[in-house]
Amino acid sequence: MKKFFMFLAVAGLMTFTASIASAQDEQAAPAATEQVAAEPVTDLFAGSGEEVPLHQALKTKFIEGGAGFMSLILICLILGLALAIERILYLSFSKTNTVKLLDKVEAALKKGGVEEAKKVCRETRGPVASIFYQGLLRADQGVDVVEKTIVSYGSVQMSLMEKGLGWISLFIAIAPSLGFLGTVIGMIQAFDAIQAAGDISPNVVAGGMKVALITTVGGLIVALILQVFYNYILSKIDTLTIDMEDASIRFVDTMVKYNK
């Protein structure tokens, strides 16, 4: 499943990069032509009465921000979203009706003993069923061993649920950093233009300032989007963890009753 989403992310990146390359080829004209082509960009936000598609406006701003830094920011967004979607699907499939599972395990213990309860756990997906199965494997060693096994294997399941979150948090930190780096480079370009022209007029510094602002906005938007997904994933992990702890306590009580 994870490889599938990574493949979709790479395919989307290649498609978007191809559209950027075609747009850059169309704008490869002399400086005078660039000044004429800059007027429709102003109309995007000035309300000239002519509607511009959203994807076209985003593409234009992407090119103006500089293909280098904006591409890196876009890669952070695509990879971060791919990892976030993979985690959300994994956690959604890990959700188990613990009350129903405990009832099945208890009924299986009364009917066919430990082996029947193991069969129920094997046929149930999710970390809770896996924890129960590990406890049942050591049922003949006493309740204390079963409880320690449940605690230890619960930590393993927690690590599996949090897998990939480090990469998402890395992209959340890198995206605005790349935007700020683009801002610094844009300011340097603006001062270079001022030095070359010997003038501090707005037209001289506008290009560098625009690059600086667009890269910053792009990095912050990517970080905000990924942060929302990151917090949503953490909330799902917390919910599953509470269910696991509650179910583990009730499972130990069930094993105590069975041994008696």
> Predicted confidence band at 37 (pLDDT cuts at 50, 70, 90)?
very low
CA nearest to 94, candidates 230, 239, 229: 239
N- to C-terminal Cα separation, the chain: 44
Closest by alpha carbon to 181, among 208, 151, 160, 212? 212
Q: How many CB atoms lie within 10 A of CB 160?
A: 12
Q: What percentage of residues in the chain have a pLDDT greater than 70?
A: 67
Question: What residue type is 225 in one-letter code?
Answer: I
Q: Look up the pTM and report it.
A: 0.71
Cα 254 to Cα 136: distance, rounded to the nearest angstrom: 11
Residue 18 to residue 99: CA distance in whole angstroms:
52
Torsions phi, psi for 95 (to 5 deg): -70, 130
Task: Count how many residues are written for the chain.
Answer: 260
pLDDT value of residue 191: 73
pLDDT, position 206:
63
pLDDT attached to residue 3: 47
Helices then strands (H, E): number in the chain? 9, 0
pLDDT in tens, 212-256: 777 888 889 999 999 999 999 999 999 999 989 898 889 888 888
Higher pLDDT, 163 or 200: 163
- Under a CB-based contact definition with an 8 Å cutoff, are residues 123 and 153 in contact? no
Cβ neighbours, 10 Å, residue 88: 14
Tokens matching residue 109: 């213990």
**How high does pLDDT run on average in the chain?**
76
Distance CA 115, CA 120 (A): 9
75-to-174, 175, 209, 217 alpha-carbon distances in Å = 11, 9, 23, 15
- Token output for 227: 């942060």
Alpha carbons within 13 angstroms on the beta-carbon side of residue 182 total 30
Q: What is the pLDDT of residue 138?
A: 87
Residue 205, pLDDT score: 64
- For the stretch 171-227, pLDDT in tens is 999 998 888 887 777 777 777 777 777 666 666 666 667 667 778 888 899 999 999
DSSP assigned state of 124:
S
Which phi-psi region, left, alpha or beta, contains residue 200 (left: φ > 0; alpha: ψ -120 to 50)?
A: alpha
pLDDT value for 96: 86
Band the pLDDT of 87: cuts 50, 70, 90: very high
Q: Is 57 helix (H, G, I), strand (E, B) or coil?
A: helix
Structure-model confidence comparison of residues 214 and 9, the more confident one: 214
